Amino acid sequence: MTALRIVFAGSPAAAVPTLRALAAGPHDLRTVITRPATAQGRKRILTPTPVAAEAQRLGVPVRETTRLHDLQAELMREPVDLGVIVAFGSLVREPLLSWPQHGWINLHFSLLPKWRGAAPVQHSLMAGEEETGATVFQLTPGLDDGEWFAQHRERVQGGTTAGLLLERLSGSGATLVAQVVDDIAVGRARARPQRGEVTLAPKLTRDDGRLEWQQDAQAVLARWRGVTPEPGAWTTIDQSQVVKLLELAPATNAPPLAAGAVTLDAGRVLVGARDTALELVRVQPAGKQGMPAADWARGWGDEPPRFR
């Protein structure tokens, strides 16, 4: 096998397993491109992306940018064989798109052509999908529409949140990328057109995290799973006071509750959806830290709140 000269682009924790797999493989990881460090936490400490931190640990040169185009002249001084991109957050345009000999391959966390876009894991859970996976495909100017090399499929486990599912798929996806890179190196990689219904997964906003208690409990729970941990699930009391819902679960043997009504039942904090109740396990009231819902209930006073 001829070792490929590789450039890698990615930023969040979901891209780190692929970076590690490439660094541990037989190929020549020349450079890592990631987004600039940002101020994090209450003390606004300048913090590198998870990919930058891991690349520095591995001893791989790092370039920081918000747009790959801004590094075009610097990058194209040296030839490379393959670009690999995972959740970088910026488009690859010409002439960078054609700079590597084999172009760029992208790891996408869905079974393309389902859920093209920035938030495939979140949208698949919100839609109640029972099967998910990851796809390695050839990057093109279009939105996640290139021919694909390999897919990993798995069943969605009950209660899985977007954060947990993305963590699992990032591991299995890294293995998939490593296999495709090896196949490209020996000339046995075969790409095939995407077939099937195209669905879109645009980036989520804070508003997408608001839960609607007039929906069935299953739909409420599906949305909670899809927006946890980001952008985060929330509701309001009296249409103004925000309560974040950190952990939500089905409730068995629950009494009938009106949509949005909250009650304490045998130590459980329950909230009504359109058809049945759900259990609040952990919450974060406005201006406070996350806490068990039962602890929050102790501060209700004479009357429990109502979610709007």
136-146 pLDDT, tens digit each:
999 999 999 99
Q: Evaluate whether 5-186 and 206-297 have a shared fold.
A: no
Place 72 in a pLDDT band, splitting at 50, 70 and 90.
very high
Question: Which of 12-16, 99-103, 237-241 is the least confident region?
Answer: 237-241
Q: Supply the pTM of this predicted model.
A: 0.94
State mean pLDDT over 67-78: 93
Among the four given CATH numbers 2.60.40.10, 3.30.1490.110, 3.50.50.60, 3.40.50.170, the one describing domain 5-186: 3.40.50.170
Q: What is the pLDDT of residue 99?
A: 96
Residue 174: which of 4, 283, 23, 277 has the closest Cα? Answer: 23
Centre a 10 Å sphere on the Cβ of residue 221 and count the other Cβ atoms it contains: 21
Domain ranges of the chain: 5-186, 206-297
Residue 14 has pLDDT above 90, yes or no: yes
* Model pLDDT for residues 191-215, shown as the tens digit of each residue: 999 999 999 999 999 999 999 999 9
Residue 1 has pLDDT above 80, yes or no: no
Residue 238 has pLDDT above 80, yes or no: no
Instruction: Give CA–CA dist 9/30, Å, rounded.
Output: 11
State mean pLDDT over 280-296: 94
State mean pLDDT over 93-117: 97
Q: What is the pLDDT of residue 248?
A: 97
Q: What is the pLDDT of residue 194?
A: 98
CATH superfamily of 206-297: Formyl transferase, C-terminal domain (3.10.25.10)
Residue 44 has pLDDT above 90, yes or no: no
Q: What is the pLDDT of residue 158?
A: 85
Place 22 in a pLDDT band, splitting at 50, 70 and 90.
very high
Contact between 66 and 91 under an 8 Å Cβ cutoff? The reply is: no
Residue 266 has pLDDT above 90, yes or no: no
Place 273 in a pLDDT band, splitting at 50, 70 and 90.
very high
Residue % of the chain over a pLDDT of 90 = 87
Which token pair is 202?
A: 């645009």
Instruction: Give CA–CA dist 94/68, Å, rounded.
Output: 11
Long-range CB contacts (within 8 A, 24+) of 186-195: 186/1, 186/2, 189/149, 190/149, 191/137, 191/138, 191/146, 191/147, 191/148, 191/149, 192/147, 192/148, 193/147, 194/112, 194/113, 194/137, 194/145, 194/146, 194/147, 194/148, 195/113
